[in-house]
């Protein structure tokens, strides 16, 4: 991955992690920059709308990651009862790994920003629609 593309990925991944763990309002751009290792210019180059655009990309990245997990689980566990048990095990593992500080990868962001931010509301709705579609 090119360095510039890596900066974008790091910004989004770091934002996704921080928003999930400490919330949208409690996560500042300076913290995202410091923890991602990306230069400040990359933030505004890739996300000219700032934090809201970065959050939209973070919600989309979280949606992709959950879709990948759901797709793998549906392949491995075609029976609904097995699928639900396996999904609960995966989520419980994620929560335990985070010392019970992280839950749904978009819930914290969505609860803080919807419906005030139409952009983030739309991203959250799209994520949920994708997850529902993957499960069904």
87-104 tens-digit pLDDT: 999 999 999 999 998 878
- The values of phi and psi at residue 98, to 5°, are -90, 10
The full set of domain ranges for the chain reads: 3-135
Q: Environment class of residue 96 by beta-carbon count within 10 Å: exposed (0-12), middle (13-18) or buried (19+)?
A: exposed
Has residue 109 got a pLDDT over 70? yes
Span 46-66, average pLDDT: 97
First to last CA, the chain: 34
Span 26-39, average pLDDT: 97
Q: Residue 82 and residue 100: Cα distance in Å, rounded?
A: 24
2-26 tens-digit pLDDT: 766 899 999 999 999 999 999 999 9
Amino acid 70: pLDDT: 96
Strand, coil or helix: what is 42?
A: helix
pLDDT > 70: percent of the chain? 98
CATH class of 3-135: mainly alpha
Which one, of 21, 19, 17, 11, lies nearest residue 42 by Cα? Answer: 11
């Amino acid at each position: 991955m090119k360095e510039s593309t890596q900066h974008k990925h790091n910004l989004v991944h770091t934002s996704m992690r921080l928003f999930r763990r400490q919330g949208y309002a409690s996560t500042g751009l300076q913290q995202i920059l410091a923890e991602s290792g990306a230069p400040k210019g990359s933030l505004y180059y890739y996300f000219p709308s700032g934090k809201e655009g970065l959050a939209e990309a973070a919600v989309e990245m979280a949606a992709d990651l959950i879709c990948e997990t759901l797709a793998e689980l549906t392949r491995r566990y075609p029976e609904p009862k097995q699928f639900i048990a396996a999904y609960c095990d995966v989520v419980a593992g994620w929560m335990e790994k985070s010392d019970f500080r992280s839950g749904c990868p978009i819930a914290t962001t969505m609860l803080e920003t919807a419906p005030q931010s139409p952009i983030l509301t739309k991203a959250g709705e799209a994520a949920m629609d994708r997850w529902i579609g993957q499960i069904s």
